[in-house]
Amino acid sequence: MPFLLEPVRTPEQIKKTAELAEIIWTEHYTPLIGAAQVAYMIEKFQSVSAVTAQIRQGYRYYLMQSGGISAGYTAVLSEPVEKSLFLSKIYVEKSYRGRHFTSKTLAALKKICREEDLEKIRLTVNKGNHSSLAVYEHLGFVQVQDIVTDIGEGYVMDDYIMEMII
């Protein structure tokens, strides 16, 4: 089936993104960080209001479409000061994993980087998220820094910063 990154612009698309976030995050992250932190992070970073606010702040969201079905989503923010594209979010629904949606999305993001004269793609990934770490390393990302970020309510994000030079 054809793969398409569809820009998220309408309230319906934002709602679909938030619905996907809840499904994906609950399934994937609960074993890593616990149900309470997952619920907190969904509301703070992945809810309809959070996605809407991030779009207003300059984030670009895209739904990953396959055969007319939304199979995942991604969000990016250009950071011209560091000449990088920050890959804030890239999530694929479990039944669509293994279909190369991440590599197809990265190919599209590399094109955006070339069009915007950006030199690298940066992302953060949870240190315990071994499956995602392996995927990113396979795709050419390297770890450049450890970072612990306080996100409120007593929760932290314990991540690696990874980069891929374009």
- Cβ(70)–Cβ(20) under 8 Å? yes
What CATH architecture does domain 3-165 belong to? 3-Layer(aba) Sandwich (3.40)
Q: What is the pLDDT of residue 9?
A: 96
| 165 vs 163: CA distance, rounded Å | 7
| pLDDT at 48 (0 to 100) | 98
Written as six digits, the tokens of 40 are 């907190």
**Taking a C-beta distance cutoff of 8 angstroms, is the pair 77, 113 a contact?**
no
Q: Which two tokens stand for residue 110?
A: 């590399």
Alpha helix (H) ranges present in the chain?
11-33, 35-41, 48-56, 101-115, 130-138
Pairing of strands 69-79, 84-92: antiparallel
Q: What is the pTM of this model?
A: 0.93
Is residue 1's pLDDT more than 90?
no
Bridge partner residues of 148 (DSSP): 158
Query: In this structure, what token pair is assigned to residue 138?
Result: 């396979």
- The token pair that represents 17 in the structure block: 């993104």
pLDDT reading at 66 higher than 80: yes
pLDDT in tens, 31-53: 999 999 999 999 999 999 999 99
**What confidence tens digit (pLDDT) does each residue in 76-116 have?**
998 877 899 999 999 999 999 989 999 999 999 999 999 99
Mean residue pLDDT of the chain comes to: 95
Q: What is the pLDDT of residues 107-151, one digit of tens each?
A: 999 999 999 999 999 999 999 999 999 999 999 999 999 999 999
Residue matched to tokens 């809840």: 22
CA–CA dist 9, 62 (Å, integer): 9
Average pLDDT over residues 63-72: 94
